[in-house]
Structure 1
Amino acid sequence: MMPIWVALASTLTVLMTSFNGVPAKTVTDAERLFSDLMVGYSKMFRPVLNESNLVVVSTWLDLISIQDFNEVEEKISFTALLYLAWNDERLVWDPKDYGGIDNLYIDVSKIWVPQMMLTNNVNKNERLSEDWHTVRVNASGVCVYYIANVFTSSCNVDVTFYPWDTQTCSLDFMPANYGIDKMSLYPLNHKVQLTYYSPNGAWDLMDTSVTSEAYSFMVRFNVVLERKPRFAIVNVILPLIIMSALNILVFLIPTECGERISFCLTVLLSIAVFLTLVGDNLPKNSNPMSLFSYYLVSVLVISVAITLAVICSLHVYHRSEKQQPGGAWRAIAMCLGCYCVRRPGSESADRTNRSDEIKFARPENASDRSSPGMHSMPYSSHTHRGVILYRPTHSYGTLPSDRPEDKPLQKKEMDDSDSSVLEITWADVSVALDKVFFLFLFLLLITDTICFLMIIYNNVSF
Structure 2
Amino acid sequence: MHSVLIFLISFLVNITTCFYENSSHYVPEWNKFLDQQQKLVSDLFEKYDSSISPVYSKIDINKPIGYNPIAPKRYNYTIFMYNIKLVEVLEPEEKVSVVMEMAEHWYDPRLAWNPSLYDDIEMLHMRQEKVWSPTINMFRINDIADFRDQDFRMVSLDNTGHIYSSLSLRVSVNCPLDVRKFPFDSQTCTIQFSMPLFFIQYVEMFSQIYDGILNKTVWKRMGNSEWDLVNLTNRVEILSYNDGIGDMQLATFEIKIQRNPLYYIYMIVFPSFVINALSIVGVFMKRTDKMSKLNVGLTNIMTMTFILGVMADKIPRTGSIPLLGIYIIINLFIMIVAVGITVLMGSIRKCAIPRLRMKKTELRQWIEWVLGDPMETICMTVLGTINALNFFVVIVFWIRDS
CA contact (8 A) 2:108 2:161 kept: yes
Matched, 1:205 2:147: no
CA distance in 2, matches of 1:111, 1:189: 25
| Partner amino acid, structure 2, of 1:162 | F
Matched, 1:24 2:56: no
Between the two proteins, the alignment pairs up a number of residues equal to 356
| Alignment equivalent of 1:73, drawn from 73, 93, 98 | 93
CA contact (8 A) 1:85 1:142 kept: yes
CA contact (8 A) 2:279 2:297 kept: yes
Quote the residue 2:63 is aligned against: none
CA distance in 2, matches of 1:175, 1:192: 27
| Matches for 1:34-73 after TM superposition, within 5 Å | 34-48=41-55, 53=72, 54-73=74-93
How has the CA–CA distance of structure 1 residues 247 and 152 changed in structure 2, closer, same or farther, with 3 Å as cutoff?
same
Q: CA deviation at 1:129?
A: 9.8
Matched, 1:273 2:306: yes
| Partner amino acid, structure 2, of 1:65 | K
Matched, 1:311 2:367: no
How has the CA–CA distance of structure 1 residues 192 and 169 changed in structure 2, closer, same or farther, with 3 Å as cutoff?
farther
CA contact (8 A) 2:269 2:391 kept: no
| Matches for 1:230-241 after TM superposition, within 5 Å | 230-241=262-273
Quote the residue 1:254 is aligned against: 287
CA distance in 1, matches of 2:276, 2:363: 27
CA distance in 2, matches of 1:88, 1:236: 59
- Give 1 or 2 for the bigger CA radius of gyration: 1
Q: TM-score, normalised by structure 2?
A: 0.76
Q: CA deviation at 1:134?
A: 1.9
| Alignment equivalent of 1:89, drawn from 93, 109, 112 | 109
| Matches for 1:257-406 after TM superposition, within 5 Å | 258-286=291-319, 288-315=320-347, 325-327=354-356, 335=366
Q: Secondary structure at the match of 2:324?
A: helix
| Alignment equivalent of 1:437, drawn from 361, 376, 379 | 379
How has the CA–CA distance of structure 1 residues 155 and 271 changed in structure 2, closer, same or farther, with 3 Å as cutoff?
same
CA distance in 2, matches of 1:431, 1:182: 86
Q: CA deviation at 1:212?
A: 1.4
Quote the residue 1:180 is aligned against: 200
Q: Secondary structure at the match of 1:234?
A: helix
| Matches for 1:97-246 after TM superposition, within 5 Å | 97-123=117-143, 130=150, 132-189=152-209, 193=213, 198-199=221-222, 200-214=224-238, 217-246=249-278
CA contact (8 A) 1:57 1:84 kept: yes
Q: CA deviation at 1:316?
A: 5.7
CA distance in 2, matches of 1:55, 1:75: 34
Q: Secondary structure at the match of 2:32?
A: coil
Q: CA deviation at 1:252?
A: 1.4
Q: Secondary structure at the match of 2:308?
A: helix
CA contact (8 A) 1:104 1:137 kept: yes
| Partner amino acid, structure 2, of 1:24 | K
How has the CA–CA distance of structure 1 residues 75 and 256 changed in structure 2, closer, same or farther, with 3 Å as cutoff?
closer
Q: CA deviation at 1:49?
A: 7.1
Identity rate of aligned residues, in percent?
Answer: 19
How has the CA–CA distance of structure 1 residues 66 and 253 changed in structure 2, closer, same or farther, with 3 Å as cutoff?
farther
- 1:38-57 deviation line (CA, Å, top 9, x unaligned): 22222333225785542101
CA contact (8 A) 1:333 1:429 kept: no
Task: Flag structure 1 segments of 5+ consecutive residues without an equivalent.
Answer: 339-427
Q: Secondary structure at the match of 1:149?
A: strand
Q: Greater relative contact order: 1 or 2 (C-alpha under 8 angstroms, separation 6 or more)?
A: 2
Q: CA deviation at 1:430?
A: 5.4
Q: CA deviation at 1:37?
A: 2.3
CA distance in 1, matches of 2:81, 2:160: 24
Q: Secondary structure at the match of 2:176?
A: coil
CA distance in 2, matches of 1:67, 1:328: 71
How has the CA–CA distance of structure 1 residues 205 and 124 changed in structure 2, closer, same or farther, with 3 Å as cutoff?
closer
CA distance in 1, matches of 2:354, 2:383: 25
CA distance in 2, matches of 1:243, 1:220: 47
Q: CA deviation at 1:457?
A: 5.3
CA distance in 2, matches of 1:68, 1:324: 62
CA distance in 2, matches of 1:166, 1:138: 43
Q: CA deviation at 1:245?
A: 0.9
CA contact (8 A) 1:244 1:299 kept: yes
CA distance in 2, matches of 1:135, 1:129: 13
CA contact (8 A) 1:95 1:101 kept: yes
Q: Secondary structure at the match of 1:56?
A: strand
Quote the residue 1:422 is aligned against: none
Q: TM-score, normalised by structure 1?
A: 0.67
Quote the residue 1:391 is aligned against: none
How has the CA–CA distance of structure 1 residues 132 and 430 changed in structure 2, closer, same or farther, with 3 Å as cutoff?
farther
How has the CA–CA distance of structure 1 residues 191 and 307 changed in structure 2, closer, same or farther, with 3 Å as cutoff?
farther
